[in-house]
Chains A and B, each alone.
Chain A
């Protein structure tokens, strides 16, 4: 994969705002850098603007003020189709094409990029193995897979054309806790080999602490703070502290009930 000569952050937000046509402010005054090879987690509740932030990167949305840069150049000035094919995109399991089998879902971007068939086939097999799926699943359809398998296919599909950047929108949100745990673990070990720049949206602090190189905390369309997982746990920021408090109280109350 060729690298852009650009040496700054992989993704930059400069005074970015996003308003709906009716004037409702979704996102305002966003300044944020995402560094090469890190997993930046966007943490916040629904409506905090985290998914909007993600969609501004691959231009599914266009900022109403400010600019977003990917690999140093402003996304608004790039060819939108080329931009998106350089960025992997994973959303909740519903994003798989129900009428495509696993092989065609994974091979989607290589195929629209015009790779030769045998290269697509070998790449698909490689990816199935990489995300821990049996090769014989290639001919199955999404409805024939478990939730965990579907999500693995989603990750494989995003990695297909070897993009330097991955955008992940609550990819493990719909999974049961054990499967989620397993996928988080595998995703981390995958990332240790691949060193992608990852922007990961979640509302789950546990997931953020576990996966994030840094956690960007968002609330009502504003970036509150960006902290490492260690600093997040010690943070005196009221909102960050509230998240930690809520996270701990679940464990504490369960523990206390056990002593009664």
Chain B
């Protein structure tokens, strides 16, 4: 039985696990953006906070993913539902690229442009939403792209704690020494990462200021 045949026979399950996978990646990226972008804006304007915030995000990044999933398992509310836990862990990993790129993007805006805006009487809020964020958008988006690609890979490991996703096929395949099963998880996961990378990269180039 070749691999395509195998996929054709099990397409329902592969599709379901792919959707689960996408759900985990999507929700965690959204949460990470909701936390990371404001944090990035904050440290771009308050340089004193820059070191501690980036250092914390960096440390989180260095924790091995399997260990982080394990550490979080006994936490009361989180451990009840493993998807919650997986999403939290993925969110934590996605924070660093989002904070760092938002910070870099805003700091990279030409200070003369910001000063011109301020000199003409724009408020801090107007400067942020009309000048700094639009000009930093492509850099922020490249942070989102990195975060998504990392998350797609990491989310396969979430299956180790039973959170589902394409990793389930990989782990099952490993246990059963079944390469077709491993590839049935690994290839869609790789494709997801490629598609996300390509489409967000395209969007990023379109939004890049000239």
Contact = CB atoms under 8 A, between A and B. Distances in A.
A and B are partners in one complex rather than unrelated chains: yes
Given A94-B112, A95-B112, A98-B135, A89 B119 contact: yes
A178 interface: no
Contact of B120 (A55, A85, A98): A85
B115 A82 contact: no
B116 A99 contact: no
A149 B54 CA distance: 42
Interface residues of B, number: 18
Interface stretch (B121-129, B145-153, B166-174): B121-129
B134 interface: yes
Contacts of B131: 97
A99 B209 contact: yes
Contacts of A143: 210
B110 A60 contact: no
B113 interface: yes
A112 B123 CA distance: 9
A112 B113 contact: no
Contacts of A92: 112
Q: Which interface residue of B118, B121, B126, B210 has the most chain A CB atoms within 10 A?
A: B121
A197 B41 CA distance: 38
Contacts of B122: 81, 108, 112
Contacts of A141: 210
Contacts of B113: 94-98
A108 B118 CA distance: 12
A84 interface: yes
Contacts of B120: 84-85, 89, 108-109, 157-158
B120 to A, nearest CB: 6
Contacts of A58: 119
Contacts of B79: none
B209 to A, nearest CB: 5
Lowest 6 CB-CB distances: which A-B pairs, in order?
A: A95-B116, A84-B121, A85-B121, A89-B119, A94-B112, A143-B210
Interface of B: 110, 112-113, 115-123, 126, 131, 134-135, 209-210
Interface of A: 55, 58, 60, 81-85, 89, 91-92, 94-99, 108-109, 112, 141, 143, 157-158, 167
